[in-house]
Structures are given as structure tokens and as C-alpha cells.
Structure 1
Amino acid sequence: MNEPLALSPAMHTVLASAVHSLLKDPRLTGRSDLVRLAAVVLLAKAPSGSAVVDMSSRDVGGWLGCSLSHVGHTAVPGLKATDAVLCRPNRTDEGRTEGLRLELLPLREARAAADGSPLAMLTKRELATLLRFCEAVTCPGWSPSGKAETPAGFMAHRRGRGAPTDRLAMVLLSLEARTDGRVRMAPGRVPQGFRRADATVARLLNCAVEAAAMVVDRLVAAGHVELEDTKRPGGERLRVPAVAAAHARVRQSVALEAAASASPVAEAEAAGQGPCSRCTDAENEAETDSESEAAGMALSGDGWAQESLEDVLLTADACAFGDQPTEHTANPQVSRGSKNQPDKAVCADLHTAHTPVAALSGFSAGDREVFSGSAVEGRGRRRGRACAGEDSAGADAPRPRTGRTETGADPLRGDKPEKLPGRSTGTGGARFLRAAAVPQDLAEALAPVAHLWTGITRLSTVKWLAKAVRAELVRLSGIVGPELALRALAARLTRRLDGQGPHAVRQLVGWLLHRGLPQRSGCWSFLCDDGYRLDTGDPCESCACLIDDRRSVRRSIAATVDVQLATASPRLRLAEVERRLREAHRAKAAADQALRHERETQNRAQAQAQDQKQDQDLRRAAAQRRRQELAATEAAHAAMACRECGLPDTAGECPVCAFRKRTDELIGQAVDLVVALRVDSLDLRAVAEMTSRVEQDTRTVIERAHARAQTADSSADPGVRAHEVQQLAAKLLAQRRHWALQRLAESEPADEAAERAYQVALRRTHWNATPEKRREAAEKAAVSARQCVAQDLLTEFLTDLSRARANLAVPPERVPWKERLAKLASGDQAQPHALRPVRRRTVA
């Protein structure tokens, strides 16, 4: 049955963990509910192989419950601001924008890390289930042509202000809901004036309780959420009816399928078309065929499986669920009432309908007025009915098959015979013992309570308690040694039992764990236990000293009271002594606490100072290590030889080679200025020839200028000469740039721009300015416009030249004429990027 909201327990855990892991991402924490709901939708729609989702703005608005304008102005910018979603337009090959291409970065990073996070563990099946779940909650719904229709979610009508918050809350509540639709409520104290449901929604949405209360009110008013038990303060229940209805439909579908696949006898019995085989089979036939039928029973599990009463009643066609049959067709298991009672029964028939999946056994109790059916796997001597003494030695002997108990009364259906002590109740339950013996290794230690140990009836409890006793023995062995540990524990248990007085020990387990085993020191000594030493068993001297000190204080206070209140009655003096003793005890406890607090403060301060010193030492060591690493790196870099000439200790490049490299760059820029203005960039051969000729001429000009600048006092150092050549190349580049800008400023586009700027400046000049000032301002604007156009034209010419150089460096691919004609016939005339044509611009 297709119920997206009815998740299995395993799928429920996986999806809830993945969604909460996504919302706990630091990039989504504190963001708006619109952005977080969009992230959940992207997770649901993400494919199993990537984290990229293509959606249109209309679809995004339908999922989030907002308009297209809100998607463009709020949702998409919000997703970009989180750094958790990459959002870019999805364009076709023609450049037309079709929608949005969204990539969920937390999902991509989790899959790349493969660290076992819930997002990384999502499979294709789980992602599809999450998508169907989100569709059932917040999908806008659509009906594509030729495909199955996707119905709208039950939150699709919620649009406008606050819709993303309500939709996100319903997605999280539906993920947290159990099979009955109830949501586990948030524990702890609830702020005054709010409900526990408000605190639960606030915990899920990570928002304030005030905002969550408004969300709960809106969901309750819309009927998507129900509040139960609202009369009890703080005890209300939050229920999602849609989830409960989905699980109910699944259970009903399973029950109907089980009824449809049942045997013909069971179908006839469920429909009321035939009598019950348990009530009509003869007793002798049941005893004869019991073993053969038991071998063919199809039972499941460790013992057996039976459907619930509601599932069985759903498959019955004779009556509706919960109705009572009108005819009295079976023997009742209670009193039949008075003789004047009419034939029509006024009470429900206590003989329940049989499950359609359990085969009927001839050796069952179906023909008796007791339990019906057989609940034993395989053969055994307890296949009939449960009665007293069936585990006795004579179990194989025939027993009377009466339907009465030892008291002589008929047991009601559902009543269980009283369990005998020390007897097992089945193979799958707890194991009971008739008498639990004390473990041999603990016999000496547990000798004082050996008579109480036999009262423990569970083997698991015996093992658990013996483990706790052995742990205490291990602790005592570390204090007094293994040879005295058993004796010390036995002496402790004897003292504790004697201290019970007339009160007997009723629960040995609790008494041992809370009274018998714990050590109670009366003083500072770790050997003291109830005022006795563990090693020798003698009274503790430290406890005696403490007792003497307390007695001395009491005597001192009593003597002082007798002197001060000599005329008072003994009762008043005793009350005054007790009061002063309490005050003295409080004062001493306060002093001890202050001393402990002071010592703890000192220890904490010393620990903090030591930690700070260690941190400082670590930081100093790290800084020193970093300085040494940097120094070593710099030394290694400085020791590198020149990559051009091989000169050692030049950090990879000597001054001469560096100047020559810079000179070559300047010469190349100067050559580009000339070639860009004089050659058509579409003519690649002319570009190559002009570049070679101008570069040779430029180098010749620089060499001649440098030779003329040489004098007798000039230095012969190669570095100095290379620097001088670089300076000459820079000066030549500046001259050529100035010349190029002048030529371009005199061009026709520059003249047009200057004229427009001149006219605009004349019109924009202040009204009270003189004609001379207006003319000066207009001329300045014209000159500025002319320079701007010249600069733009020069930049454009250089760009065209660089593209031509790129085409020159990568020769065009020769395509056969057949392929070129086929492309032209198909209309695909797009050229490669390397062969993109440039505009022809030259300056005479």
C-alpha cells in the first residue's frame, strides 16, 4: 500500500538523523525557516550520485509556499548568503535561462569525506523515500501528461506569511511522530504560560517558545496537529493525525491481504458461512491427528505468532468492528443468567474469532471451554491445556481433560493459572530457579547472608549480584590483600545484619547494594569501616579520637550551661545544651567548608598558573620552531642558483637576468602598441611579420641609445648595464603609449565623444556662471571625454591583438569540406573559441 507517511522504524531513524544532521550544519544554524526548508527540499530531491538539483523558480515557490517574487528576492539570496548552497542559473545551449541549478554543499562534503555521517549514508532508496515523504507533506502537486499524477501534500494550501515555518514544523513533527501519530514531547521544565507542545516545537525549530506557540496555534487551527490531554497542566500530547491515519491504513491493508490469502475454511469461518472447526471436531479425532497436524503447522518466530484481535475483527464480514453478534452460537464461559432470559443474547460472545494464519490442531483446546488454539512449537508433553502439575514426573500419563481448575470453577478466557515457585514459564522468558546456591568462590564472604541468598529466584539476578560482590572483593583486596578480603567482607555483613535489630532483611538485592557492600568510613582513614579496622578487626583509633573530641565539646558546653543557667530546670538546661551543640556543629562545618573552599581555590589557581605556563612554553617553542623553519627556508632559497645563467647564491634569479627579463617584457609591450595601431588583427600573417620587424627595430633603437649614453666613466658591471637598458626600454614604452593616445584622441570616435561632452557640459553648467566659465568647463569635459575614448580604444586594440596572437599560436584545425558543409547545412555556424573573429580596427 502506497503510504509515504507510514515509515518503518529503521527508515524513520535514518531519515530523521539525516534531516537533523543537515539542519545542525553551522552554515544553516540561525538562518530563516525559508532557507532551512529549502535545504531539506534539496536534500529530498538530490540524486544519489551528486548533490545538484535543477529546479524552476515556480517549483521552488510551490515547495516553500511563497510567490515567485519572494523566491527571487528572498529565497535565492538567502541560500547564497548561507554558503551552504551554490545557486546559479541553468541555461540551455542557446543561452536561454530555464531555471536554477542548486548544489547542496553539506551533502557533497559528507559524501566526499565518507566519515559515516547520516548524510553520507543515505542510499538511493532512502532518498526516494524521503522525497515521497516530503511530497506527502509540502509538495505543490502536479499532473504531467503521460505520467502518474503527484497529489499535493496536506500542507500545500498553506501559503503566504509564515508558510515556510509551518511547513518545516510539519515535516519535522511528521518525522518525529510514532505509529499512533504522537510526538515525543520535550522533557524538562516548561516556561510559565506556555504548553509542553510549544516547547517541543521550539526544540525542533530551534526558535523561541513564543514563536513556537504561534506555530502550534496555527497548525491546530488548520487541523494538521491535535492536542490531547489538555486538561492536565504540562501533560498534553501532540499528535499528527495524517501519520496516524497512514499507519492505520497500512494495518488495515495488511489485515485484508492476510484475510484474502487465508485458507477456504478460515475464510468461511471469518465470514460466518460455516461453523468453527475447533468447536465441531470430535475429541477422539483431535487426539488421534494431533501429531500429524502439529508437524504441518506454519508458525513463525521463536514460539508462535498470532495477529491482534483488531486485525482479526477487521477481516470478519459478519459484523462490523466492535459490534456484538445477535445469535448465541457458542458456549459462554460465564454464567448464563436467569432462566427468564430470552433466546437473543444481550452480551458479547466470549469465543473470539480465530486467526486466519494459524493452522488448527486437533490436539488443541478448541473443543473445551478454556483456551483456544495451540501455542507450542513442535511436539511436546504440554500441547493440551495448562493445568497444575503438568511438569511433574508423570507428565506422560493420561490426565483428565476437564475444563475446571482445582477450585472447581470454570476459568474465564484470559485467566492464567497461578505460577508455582521455582518453575520455568517458557523458553523465551526469564529463567526461574527453585533454590539459588551461593557461588563457591563467595561462600566465605556471603556466609552471613547464605540463608537469604536462597530467596533469589532468577539466575540472571544471581549472576549480576555475584558480579557486584566480586567487584567489592577486588577493591578490598587492594586495601587489605586477597587473603583478608573475604574475611573483612564477611565481618562487614555480620555487623550490618546485627545493626538491623528486629527488622528483617526483606529484599537481599537492594540491601546488599545499598547497605551491605558499601564501605562506611567514620574518619579519615581508608581502613576504617563502621568504626572498625579492615585489616585487624579492632576498633578504629581515629574514630575513637573523634568521638572523644565530640564528647569533650559536649561536656564543655554542658558545664558552661550549668554555670550560666544554674537556677533553670534540667529540661531547659538540656534544651540549651542541644541548641549550643547544633550551633557549634554548624560553625565547625562552615569552617571546614571554608577551609576546603580555600584549598580548592588555591589548587585551582595553581593548576591554572601551571596550565598558563605550559601554554606559554608551548607557544614560545612553536614560535621558535616557526622562526627556525622560516630561516631555513630563506637560507635554502637564497642559496639557489640562477635559473638562467646558473650563478650561485642568487635566490633563483640574479640581478642581470631579472633586468633582462623585465626589459623583454617592456619591449613586448612597446611592440604591441605599434602593431595594434598599424596592422589589421584579422590578418594573422601581417601580424606576425609586423611583430618581428617592429621588435627588431625597437631593440636596435634601445642598443643605439645605450651606446650613445656610454662614456669613459660608465661602469663595466653587467648588472648596471642591464639596469640602464631596462630604464631605456621603460622610457621608450612611455613615449609610444603617449604617442598612441594622442593619435587615438584625434580619431573620429574621440571627436564625437568630445563634441557630445562639450554640449552636455554647456547645458549642465550653473545658470549664473559667465560664458567664459561655461566654455572652460565644456572644454575640460571634452578633453576628458577624448582621453577616455582614446584609452578605451587602445585597450580594445590591444585585446584584439592578444586574441590574434592566440590564434596565431594555435593554428586552426583543418576540417574536411564534408563535415563543414554538414555543419553549415544543419545551421551550426558557431566557431571555436580560439577562432573567434575580432573586429577590424586600424589607425592610419
Structure 2
Amino acid sequence: MRALLDAVGLDDASDAVRLAVLVLASRTPSETGVVEIRTSELGRWLGLSASYTASDVVPGLRRSGVVSVETAEGEYGQHAGLKCKVLPLWAAQDVVGHPLNLAKKEYATLQRLLEAVMAPGWTHRDGRVTPAGLIGTRTGRGAATDRLALLLLVLEARETGQVRQCGGAVDTKRGRAAATVARLLGCTAAAGERVLERLEARDLVLRVRLQTGSGLANRSRLMVPAVAAAHGRTVINDVQEDRAEALKPEFSDPDVTAGPGEASEAATEVQVSGVPVTDKADVAEPDVAATLHTDHPHLVTPVVPPQLSCGFSGVGRGAGGHRPERACAREDQAANGEAAAARGGSPVAEDRPLRGEKPQEPPVEGRDGQRAAVAQAGARLEAVGWDKAQRQRRVDLPDDLRLRVALGPAAGLWARLSGWQQDQVEAATKAELKRLAGLLEQPGVAPRLLADRLTDRLAETGGEALVNKPYGWLIGRGLVQRKACTDRRCDDGLRLDTGTECGTCGNVLHIRRARRVKIAAQVGRELPGLSEGKRRRVLEERLREDMWLDAAQAERRRERAEAEVSRRRSVAEERRRELQAAELERQSAPCVECGLPESAGLCPPCTYRRRTDELVREAVDLVVAVRADLNAPDQVAALTERCEADTRALIAKMCRRAGHDGVLAAFTAPEVAERIRDKRRASAHRRLAASEEAEAEADAVYGTVLRSSRGAQAAEAAAEDARRRTAEYLLRQKVGQLQAARARAAAGRGPRPRP
């Protein structure tokens, strides 16, 4: 695929054209090398409409020179059928060692890969249904780009689903994953990030950020879950293994440290743009802090001293002689009496605190935060039983990617919560994400919007270190929308959907200021002798009363608005029922011509018959208006009857010649009558164009244009156009005179059957 995409003609081609080359290559027969496919079917593989494929993709394939295209025109002149040959594949046949010299089984593998990724899905004649591929339902704008990106990511992924990411410096605002997608597609990092977000919204790729033992963000992972599933692996298990490896403390032995001249043995490969990329992403992201020291165990993780060969300072000593224990021995108590598992120091150390005092319990907020300290003087210290919430504490954020993005800025506060508090915060976050998704035009940006809110609230507080009660802060401040006005999309004076300043807040602030000035002036006029303190209290009381009045008026307006909406809905519903009843009555009406029931007033055969009669009348009027003396009513009537009979006979003859008879002839007759009418109109135009009036008008225009020094050729063209317009005018005039003559004859001699 890379050899096809690197072809010379595809340098400036669109993603739709590049993807079309890959689709045609996968469907190429190994024997002939010619792909026969309909334009609409190629568009389904690209996620585009048939018209866009015919007007943009097919010309792009021709301009590229990579694919030779022969088209078969459809009913309306469009490119309905295509015969395509991918020239690089054809030229590489029998070339030993060429990457495009594919065998038949390799063509089959290539086709199966594209079907698994982007097949549009089919319904077979026997009723079987072939489901669409991973991204087969993605259509419309940008569909070809997303499909091409997913295909390239699948090819770059290992068996674990992890995609090799590009190396070197990248845009810190976009991240290494977006830069990898951008280099695969050959676009900017911003465009790569948009493609990656669309793929993430469909759960086709995952961006996972690992953490160090200190809680800082370390390296990232770009995963394709479908690849891992195809190899019988799950992405979640692999990510958990990577996190455990990242959190695992490392102890370096002085005897085995690397020398100054030794280099890393990480294997490197060349990514798309030629930038070396490490096979294992062991380099931290440029926009995150680097790990400057050894990772320490997090929170109450049991500490088991490593068995080192040397007796370093601080290492717990063995039993015997009541030797001192480690400084942190027995201060971390395990749950449910599991003190032995959480006990620090040597396994044979005595059960007594080093300093002799009772271990201090950290306060825990919420429902399950209280602990019962049980200790007797001189008795053996027992581990206090932590409750269920403490046992369920999770250090990492939830596995749900949306929750990880939303709670990412508050990861430090999350680690300080108990199990029950984490469950409550997770439920509150899900509810807020659902509410934000209902307010936004793009629901997929709700996690990022909530993460920005938490970042701003932490900046107001001064950072996570200044948050004393993380649970109360998250529930009551961090995750709560603060509306400064009545607009539901307002949050701290900013619009949630646009990110700009809320206009309603500006109006409310202006109104409140004007109201305060007005009430202050009224208080000054009514009570001029008050002191400053009393005047301020009176002003605040007046402002509260005014606010209550406004709230009452707003409530009444809301009730009236709801009543009006309800009334309009009932009226619309009644109108809809009336229209449905009228439509049902119209559909059940019999045909007015033949009486056929359930024909909506006119059955199809009678409809075509009426249309045929109208076309016959128009064709007869064209002949009579040109040939008959319109001042002689008898001549007009005789010529009308004869011409009508000849026209109907001609229509019947042409229908029989086409093999149509009976009911089928009624459907064919309007087309035949329309052709006859058009031929007679053209004949009438030619006849009137040769009349004296048309010739005189043409001569006058010819002389005028010729005198304007525009040349003889321009004069001829202008004269011909004047002759044509004069003929059309004369024909309309004669048809009008014919209808007027028939009306006068009908008024003088009574009603006469109209032909």
C-alpha cells in the first residue's frame, strides 16, 4: 500500500483519490488486471455519493496517471460503469522482488483486509447479510480521509493493537498520537488531530496516557482495539500491564550501571516521513514532566524491602537483640486485620511501633470516613478494620476513556478519595457529561469541555495542594456549572457551545447596574436625611424587593410561554390530524373517469389518457394556427377535426409498431404525443421564420448591426436571432387568435365539443 500511495501522480491528489487507488488495487483480478465496477459501488467503498465520485474522484484518477479509466455513460450521461487498471500493479507483474508483484493469494488477503476495515455491507439475494466493516458506516464529508487513516493505523499496529508512534519533536498542543496520524496521511498536525478525534468518537482507536508512580503523565499509547481482538488479546489488559510496568519501582545495582560510553539498545525504525521512531515508546511526551527520580509506591501499597546483597543504610535488619526497625515500619495498616501483609521492616521484627506512639489515622471524608481506634496501653497494636469504601479505593482513573479525559486535570484529587467517594464522583461526572452532550451541537467534545472546567477551577483555587477536601470540592465546585445568567449554556460568563463571552451576562450586568443607579436615586429623593449606613441598608432592601418582583414576573412569563407552547402544539396536532383525514379521504376517492375505487380521484391509466389528450390538442393547435385562415370558422373547424384524427391515428400506429397494446399503450401514448408536438412546433417555427414579417425584422437588425462596425459575421448572427424570436412571437400570436376565434364561434352557435 505504501508503494501505491508513494506513486508520482498521487503527490497532490485528495485522500478520496488515494483511497480509490487502494480499493481498485484490492479488487484487481490477478489474471486480467482490469477492474469492472460501478461508480456508485466505488462511492460506497469510499463513503461518498455517486455524483461526487463521478465528478471529483474519477477525474482525479485520470489526472494522476496511476489508474487508466474507461467509462460507460448512464441514462443521463453520467459515468455509470468504470473499467479501471492500476498501472503500477500491471507494470510490476513478473518483476522479481518488486513490492507490487503480488500473487493471487496476496490479492485475496489485501481484499479481505479492506473488507474488514471499510466494507460498505451487502444484502444478498438469498437474504443473507454481510455486515459493514469497522468504519463502513462512516459516510459524507471527510469519510475517505477517516477510512484511509484507519487503514494505515491498522497496518502500523502490532499484534497487541499498539501503533508505532513517530519520533522526534512534535507539536506539544497536539501530542505524539496526532502527529503520527498526520505523518501517515501527509497532512498537518491539526488535521491529524481532527481525524484522530473522529476515530476516537467511534471507538476505533484509543489514546492511553500512562502514569508514573508519582502520578505524573508519562508516555502515551495509540491503540487499535480491533487488531488486538483479531489476535485474541484485549487492549485493557495490555494497558494495565504497561501501567504496572511503568509503576514498578526499579532499584539499580552499582555494579551493573551503564558506563559512560554505553548506548541504549532500543531498536529504531523509519516512520512515514523518515523520522526515526523507537520500537518501544520509552520517551516521555514533550508536553509532560519527565521522571526525574525513581518511582515511589503510591499511597498504602505494601512495602517489601528488596533483598540486596549489600547492607545499605535504611534497610530493615533481621531479628535478634531488639534491633531498630525501619522508620516507617507498621505505620501503614492494612484492612481487615491484614497487618502482616502491610507490615514494614523485616518479617521477623517485633510487633511494636518504633517511636512508641499510636499511628495517626488520616481523616477520611464522606459517609465511610470514620474509623474506630482501638488500642490498649501496653497491649499489642492491632490493625484497625477499614470499611468497604477504603478497600475499594482505586489509584487510577476509571477505564472509561471519556471519564479519563474529563477527570484528567483532577487525577491527584481522585487518588485522595475513598472508594465510596470515587463512586459518587464517577456517577456525578457521567451525569454532567450526559447533560453537556445534550447542550452541545457536537456531543463528543463534552469530556474535553469538562476537563477545561476542572482546570480553570483548580487555577482559581491555587492548585490541587490547596484543596483540603477533594470530595466536597469536586462535587460542589469542580463539576458544577456556574450560570451567571438565565442562559443554560452559560458557565462562569462563557458560552459552552462557542467558548466566547456570554452576551446574556453582559445584558444582565448592564440592567442590574442601571437598576441600582435608579433605585439609589429614588432613595436619595425620598429619604434625603439618612446617614450613609442607613441609606445603604435601605438600598439593599429595595434591591431585594425589586429582585423578588422580577423573579415573580419571570415565573409568570415562563408559565404563559409554556401555556402558549402547549396551545400551539395542540393546534398543530389538530391540524395534522385534519390533513391526515383529508389525505386519507382523497386517497380513497374513486376515479372520476372510470370509477375505479381507491384511486385518489384519478387512476393512472386515466391520468395518462388526459395527458395524451392535452398533448394532442397542443399539436393540433400548432398545425391549425399556421395553416388555416383564422377568420373562417368553418375552415378552422374542418382542419381541426381532420388534424386531430390524423394525430390520434399516428399515435396508435407508433404504439403498435413499438409492440404496445391495450393498457400498456395508454402509458406509452403520452411520450409519443409529446414527440409529435415538439416536431410540429419546430416545423411551425421554420414556416414562420420564412414569412415576410420575420424577413423584414432580420433585414432591419442586420443593417443596424452592420452599421455599428461589428462586422458581417456578427450581423448575420444577430439577424438569425431576430428571425427566430420573430417566429416565436408570431406563433404565440396565431395560437392566441385561434383560441379567440373558437371562443367566438362557441358563443355564437352554442357549446361545441372540444377536440
* TM-score, normalised relative to structure 2: 0.31
* TM-score, normalised relative to structure 1: 0.28
Highest Rg: 1 or 2? 1
